[in-house]
């Protein structure tokens, strides 16, 4: 009896070992295809989703309305691009200048650094305006809030948040004005921090007024203001032709540079020309070592 | 003479009043019963209304077969084929991972585990079904993709493989519990007969139990497929989303990024200009997605229905092909599958390794034939145990990552009670917790009366017939509708058509529709478990139908109804996709009325994980709070159900 059992046990262990070996070899063969050493550093191209205002701008001004590479990976926010670039050594992405900090490396474009001075002077080539939209001309509290953001005080917030202020602005005058009720603002994720911060200063002057700001994306913000569910829609892009029938009035509140960011481990490049940037996003340049 | 007339008149009058009351109650119940049908019908109508125009603009064939999705290009191109392929590939990959593991798990629970182990593992697996998909997505984005990138030396870990692994893990609880039910319902005599004939336990499982439960197992797999196809948040977070949709080159390249139907909707819906062609195209995609999942779910329902019939009448005999022919068909089928597998191997690894693999496989096959039944059982059981261990280990890794990283945030003073500051990097999540509570309370307040009413109508007021069939089908279809489709419907109907805007109310109703089928089903089960004799006794004593239901049937069924409600609450608390376009905004305010937007825990986590750099600790903290909330709710439901099952004895 015990002999038989021992025999069974031996055979079992033998088959088990064979089985494990087979599985092991199997998986190694399958994975060996993936483990081939790669030359240089393949580029992982990151961009925004097709409904994004930032992408629209990038596509018009960098790509010349040509198609991106099929491998462009979509993220639906500036922060998403930033996070992916910090986590992926070969990644390249574009974000609003305000999102940049030491966690990523900002590339120069045509050897020009992305900063407020170069954007205001028009030397930095990829910059755009940010807008507030209202249904018809702004009146009452809505108008005052827009005036405030366009004033010296509001533009200080713009600068504080990393955006580029308007070239000229006057101090805000609150004397003799009295505002109350509620005001709702929603829209672009890029513009959100400006409105959120400016609202604090504004509400201090008018304690009876309540402002709520929410970030839903440019398209949703424009839809909401068009329907009258909010008073102000924030947007990082201008109106599209399909939105022109909404009877919206545009207020420019700041400008924003688009920074081209790569991972801090990327030692291949410091500056790109616009043509090189376009080639990367078209998928013609696929490895960083082609740019050395 | 006169007195009796008057008495009769009074009796008549009383009966009339009673009859009227009974009738109106019946009408109300009927209305709530058809609500599920109305909801699924209006979902289809609204998707068609907003989606059909794209089939005209782009052409239905171009829409279905075009491989390029570029709705904002010049000219815009609407080709959904690569998105469909993406959805299918991710689902297939998920099933490759989920089917063996969950079948192993199901066999382990129903046939191998000791009663005590079963008592722990079964509810544990059911609990896992409750983990919100955004929590899986968060884990996938932070841990899984990085691990894949480094260990396989890829430029990026966001890929088909990442999506399939995540979806596979998510589908395991669904498949395991349905398959386990099927295995457990195989009659005892089959098993005893087989064992008495001298078969080993494994032989019994392989040749008797699994084949008898096959249709139930198939239905389980199909339900898993349905869940995987409709999943949004996790897939959107880890699959990479190549912008125009991408069919991997070669097709076996599991590290290629993919874009699925659901992810396209989730990403693009938020910022699309309402009324544009792009907007209509997204509704076209939603329609496509709905059709695919409905077909999958109808197949599952049919199979399960046939299974029920088979149990009821085993007299009907299946017509069988003659043995010779069926053997030939089988052989050619195996040959065909073999050639396909070899072809895939050659494409993916090259000729020489492929030949090696085939030789190895043949060797293993003949080796297997030589093994004794007992050794075979040993091997099979160890594989099965390995499967369940693997599932448990994976889940432990996910849970421990979230707990270890989230605990630090939770114990920070103010995390649970303060508002959001610095875009969620610091401060607390109080508005999100309150928002989730508001959403859930509203959803259950709407869904519970409707669902319970529908179940009472189905179970007490009608015989099985055409109407009940239509209502049941409606509820089943609603149950299989992907959550993102609810989100789009809510956006089109409540936010735009009824002009509610992004509001608490729109989110509550959308969530209510989503959990309605769960509540109908669990309430019906509870009502069915009340013995018929109780009803007959009550009716014989002169009680009306409604009195019987209210005083006799509902009280013992109450714990079951409550379980359903709690399961509904758990599901509503964890879902992101339905509220993403109807109710939530990422901000720190608490609504004062139902017409204002809210923040919610799952959405807060989604935004932190995908859009706010430097919020690591609060991400994990939010994930942990959400996890504890949902798992806690599910735990209460499961405990309640188990207790109720034990104490109810007739």
pLDDT in tens, A19-28: 666 666 666 6
Does the distance separating the beta carbons of B273 and A240 come in below 8 Å?
yes
Q: Which of A89-98, A250-259, B583-592 has the lowest mean pLDDT?
A: B583-592
What residues of A are in contact with residue B613 (Cβ under 8 Å)?
Answer: 79, 82-83, 86, 99, 103
Nearest to A19 among B156, B268, B379 (CB): B379
The pLDDT of A255-259, averaged and rounded, is 89
Mean pLDDT by 10 residues, chain B (650 residues): 54 63 87 90 92 86 87 84 92 89 90 86 81 90 89 86 92 88 86 90 86 83 87 90 84 85 88 81 93 86 71 51 75 81 70 76 76 80 86 88 88 82 80 92 93 90 83 87 93 88 90 92 86 90 89 86 85 89 81 86 89 84 92 84 64
Looking at chain A, which residue has its C-alpha nearest residue B375? A12
Whether B462 and B373 map to the same domain: the answer is no
The pLDDT value given to residue B521:
87
User: How many whole angstroms separate alpha carbon B564 and alpha carbon B538?
Assistant: 26
Q: Give contacts of A 197-216 with B, CB under 8 A.
A: 212-216
Domain finish residue from B347, B376, B411: B411
Does the distance separating the beta carbons of A91 and B241 come in below 8 Å?
no
User: How many whole angstroms separate alpha carbon A268 and alpha carbon A271?
Assistant: 10
Does the distance separating the beta carbons of B153 and A38 come in below 8 Å?
yes
Nearest by Cα to B131 from B384, B396, B386: B396
Tokens (6 digits) for A212 = 């709520």
Q: Which helix (H) or strand (E) holds B324?
A: helix B323-349
> What is the residue range of B361's domain?
81-274+355-411
User: How many whole angstroms separate alpha carbon B599 and alpha carbon B436?
Assistant: 7
3-state secondary structure of B352: helix
Whether B372 and B485 map to the same domain: the answer is no
Q: Which CATH class is domain A44-127+258-291?
A: alpha beta
The pLDDT value given to residue B123:
82
Cis omega (within 30 of 0) for bond into A286: no
Residue count (chain A): 292
Domain contains B307: no
Nearest by Cα to A87 from B601, B605, B140, B406: B140
Is A173 at the interface with chain B, CB within 8 A? no
Looking at chain B, which residue has its C-alpha nearest residue A241? B276
Domain ranges of chain A: 44-127+258-291, 130-256
CA-based nearest distance B479→chain A, Å: 29
Terminal Cα distance for chain B, rounded: 48
The pLDDT value given to residue B315:
44
The pLDDT value given to residue A1:
44
The pLDDT value given to residue B589:
75
Whether B531 and B638 map to the same domain: the answer is yes
Cβ atoms of B407 and B587 within 8 Å: the answer is: no
Q: How far is CA B397 from CA A228, B144, B227, B609, in A?
A: 48, 11, 23, 19
Domain finish residue from B395, B411, B427: B411
CA-based nearest distance A166→chain B, Å: 24
CA-based nearest distance A229→chain B, Å: 6
Q: Which residues contact A20 (CB under 8 A, 6 or more apart)?
A: none
Nearest by Cα to B163 from B67, B233, B63: B233
Tokens (6 digits) for B363 = 């060797």
Whether B173 and B195 map to the same domain: the answer is yes
Does the distance separating the beta carbons of A68 and B273 come in below 8 Å?
no
Domain contains B530: yes
User: How many whole angstroms separate alpha carbon B602 and alpha carbon B437?
Assistant: 12
Nearest by Cα to B70 from B269, B242, B271, B255: B242
User: How many whole angstroms separate alpha carbon A44 and alpha carbon B168?
Assistant: 26
The pLDDT value given to residue B263:
92
What residues of A are in contact with residue B611 (Cβ under 8 Å)?
Answer: 76-80, 83, 189
Match 């379980």 to its residue by tokens. B563
Angle between helices B277-312 and B81-107 (to 10 degrees): 30
Whether B399 and B426 map to the same domain: the answer is no
Domain finish residue from B411, B427, B447: B411
Terminal Cα distance for chain A, rounded: 74
Nearest to A73 among B241, B255, B278 (CB): B241
Whether B528 and B540 map to the same domain: the answer is yes
Cβ atoms of A146 and A232 within 8 Å: the answer is: yes
Answer yes or no: is pLDDT of A49 > 90. Answer: no
Nearest by Cα to A119 from A275, A278, A261, A254: A254
A vs B, Cβ pairs < 8 A, gives 192
Does the distance separating the beta carbons of B153 and A34 come in below 8 Å?
yes
Categorise residue B15: left if φ over 0, alpha if ψ from -120 to 50, beta otherwise: alpha
CA-based nearest distance A58→chain B, Å: 12
Nearest to A90 among B155, B241, B270 (CB): B155
3-class secondary structure for B631-648?
Answer: HHHHHHHHHHHHHHHHHC
Q: How many domains does chain B have?
A: 2
CA-based nearest distance A144→chain B, Å: 22
Match 């430029």 to its residue by tokens. B155
CATH 3.40.190 fits A130-256, yes or no: yes
Does the distance separating the beta carbons of A42 and B155 come in below 8 Å?
yes
Does the distance separating the beta carbons of A224 and B273 come in below 8 Å?
no
More confident residue, A84 or B153: A84
Beta-sheet strands, E only, within chain A? 44-48, 73-75, 91-96, 105-109, 127-135, 181-187, 209-215, 232-235, 248-262, 271-272
Whether B112 and B254 map to the same domain: the answer is yes
Whether B504 and B518 map to the same domain: the answer is yes
Phi, psi of B129 (to 5 degrees): -60, -20
What residues of A are in contact with residue B499 (Cβ under 8 Å)?
Answer: 227, 229
Whether B371 and B465 map to the same domain: the answer is no
pLDDT above 70 as % of chain A: 87
Whether B552 and B649 map to the same domain: the answer is yes
Tokens (6 digits) for B355 = 């030949």
Answer positive or negative: Cα dihedral of B334, B337, B339, B344. Answer: negative
Does the distance separating the beta carbons of A31 and B499 come in below 8 Å?
no
């Amino acid at each position: 009896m015990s002999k038989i059992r021992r025999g069974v046990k031996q055979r079992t262990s033998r088959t088990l070992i064979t089985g494990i070996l087979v599985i092991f070899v199997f998986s190694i063969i399958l994975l060996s295809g993936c483990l081939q050493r790669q030359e240089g550093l393949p580029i992982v191209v990151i961009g925004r989703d097709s409904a994004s205002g930032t992408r629209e701008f990038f596509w018009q001004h960098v790509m010349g309305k040509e198609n991106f590479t099929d491998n462009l990976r979509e993220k639906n926010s500036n922060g998403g691009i930033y996070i992916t670039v910090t986590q992926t050594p070969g990644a390249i992405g574009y974000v609003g200048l305000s999102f940049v900090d030491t966690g990523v490396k900002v590339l120069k474009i045509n050897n020009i650094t992305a900063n407020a001075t170069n954007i205001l002077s028009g030397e930095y080539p990829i910059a755009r305006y940010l807008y507030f939209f209202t249904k018809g001309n702004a009146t009452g509290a809505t108008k005052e809030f827009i005036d405030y953001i366009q004033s010296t005080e509001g533009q200080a917030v713009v600068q504080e948040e990393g955006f580029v202020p308007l070239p000229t602005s006057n101090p805000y005058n609150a004397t003799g004005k009295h505002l109350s009720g509620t005001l709702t603002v929603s829209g672009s994720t890029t513009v959100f921090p400006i409105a959120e911060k400016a609202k604090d200063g504004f509400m201090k002057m008018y304690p009876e007024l309540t402002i709520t700001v929410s970030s839903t994306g440019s398209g949703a913000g424009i839809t909401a203001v068009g329907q009258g569910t909010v008073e102000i829609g924030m947007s990082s892009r201008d109106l599209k032709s399909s939105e022109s029938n909404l009877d919206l009035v545009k207020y420019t509140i700041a400008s924003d540079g688009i920074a081209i960011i790569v991972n801090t481990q990327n030692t291949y490049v410091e500056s790109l020309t616009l043509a090189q940037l376009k080639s990367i996003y078209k998928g013609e340049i696929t490895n960083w070592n082609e740019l050395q | 003479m006169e007195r009796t007339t008057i008495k009769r008149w009074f009796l008549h009058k009383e009966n009339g009043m009673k009859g009227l009351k009974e009738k109106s109650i019946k009408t109300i119940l009927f209305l709530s019963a058809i609500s599920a049908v109305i909801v699924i019908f209006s979902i289809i109508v609204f998707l068609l209304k907003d989606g059909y125009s794209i089939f005209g603009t782009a052409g239905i064939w171009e829409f279905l077969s075009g491989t390029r999705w570029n709705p904002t290009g010049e000219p815009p191109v609407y080709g959904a084929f690569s998105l469909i392929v993406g959805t299918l590939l991710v689902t297939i990959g998920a099933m490759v991972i989920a089917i063996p593991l969950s079948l192993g798990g199901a066999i382990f629970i129903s046939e191998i585990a000791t009663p005590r182990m079963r008592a722990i593992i079964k509810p544990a697996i059911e609990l896992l079904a409750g983990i919100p998909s955004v929590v899986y997505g968060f884990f996938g984005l932070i841990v899984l993709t990085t691990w894949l990138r480094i260990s396989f030396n890829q430029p990026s870990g966001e890929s088909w493989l990442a999506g399939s692994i995540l979806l596979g893990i998510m589908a395991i609880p669904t498949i395991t519990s349905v398959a386990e039910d099927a295995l457990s319902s195989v009659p005892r005599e089959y098993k005893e007969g087989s064992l008495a004939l001298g078969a080993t336990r494994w032989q019994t499982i392989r040749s008797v139990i699994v084949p008898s439960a096959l249709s139930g197992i198939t239905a389980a797999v199909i339900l898993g497929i349905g869940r995987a196809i409709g999943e949004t948040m996790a897939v959107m977070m880890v699959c990479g989303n190549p912008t125009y949709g991408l069919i991997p080159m070669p097709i076996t390249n599991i590290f290629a990024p993919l874009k699925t139907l659901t992810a396209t909707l989730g990403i693009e819906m938020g910022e699309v200009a309402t009324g544009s062609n792009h907007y209509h195209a997204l509704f076209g995609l939603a329609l496509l997605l709905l059709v695919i999942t409905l077909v999958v779910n109808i197949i599952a329902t049919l199979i399960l229905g046939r299974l029920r019939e088979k149990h009821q009448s085993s007299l009907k005999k299946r017509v069988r092909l003659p043995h010779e022919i069926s053997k030939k068909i089988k052989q050619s089928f195996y040959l065909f599958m073999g050639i396909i597998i070899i072809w895939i191997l050659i494409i993916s690894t090259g000729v020489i390794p492929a030949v090696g693999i085939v030789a190895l496989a043949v060797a293993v096959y003949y080796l297997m034939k030589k093994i004794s039944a007992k050794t075979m059982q040993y091997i099979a059981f160890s594989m099965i145990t390995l499967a369940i261990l693997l599932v448990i280990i994976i889940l432990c890794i996910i849970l421990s990552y979230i707990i270890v990283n989230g605990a630090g945030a939770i114990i920070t003073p103010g995390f649970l009670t303060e508002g959001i500051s610095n875009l969620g990097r610091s401060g607390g999540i109080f508005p999100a917790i309150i928002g989730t509570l508001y959403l859930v309370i509203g959803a259950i307040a709407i869904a519970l009366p409707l669902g319970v009413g529908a179940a009472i109508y189905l179970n007490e007021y009608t015989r099985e017939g055409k109407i009940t069939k239509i209502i049941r089908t409606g509820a089943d279809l609603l149950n299989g509708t992907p959550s993102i489709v609810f989100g789009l419907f809510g956006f089109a109907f409540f936010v735009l058509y009824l002009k509610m805007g992004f509001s608490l109310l729109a989110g509550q109703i959308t969530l209510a529709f989503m959990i309605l089928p769960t509540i109908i089903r669990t309430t019906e089960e509870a009502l069915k478990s009340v013995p018929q004799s109780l009803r007959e006794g009550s009716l014989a004593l002169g009680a009306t139908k409604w009195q019987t239901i209210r005083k006799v049937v509902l009280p013992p069924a109450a714990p079951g109804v409550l379980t359903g409600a709690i399961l509904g609450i758990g599901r509503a608390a964890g879902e992101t996709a339905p509220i993403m376009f109807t109710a939530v905004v990422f901000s720190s305010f608490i609504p004062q009325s139902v017409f204002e937007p809210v923040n919610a825990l799952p959405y807060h986590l989604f935004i932190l994980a995908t859009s706010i750099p430097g919020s690591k600790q609060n991400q994990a903290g939010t994930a942990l709070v959400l996890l504890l909330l949902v798992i806690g709710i599910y735990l209460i439901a499961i405990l309640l159900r188990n207790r109720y099952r034990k104490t109810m004895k007739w």
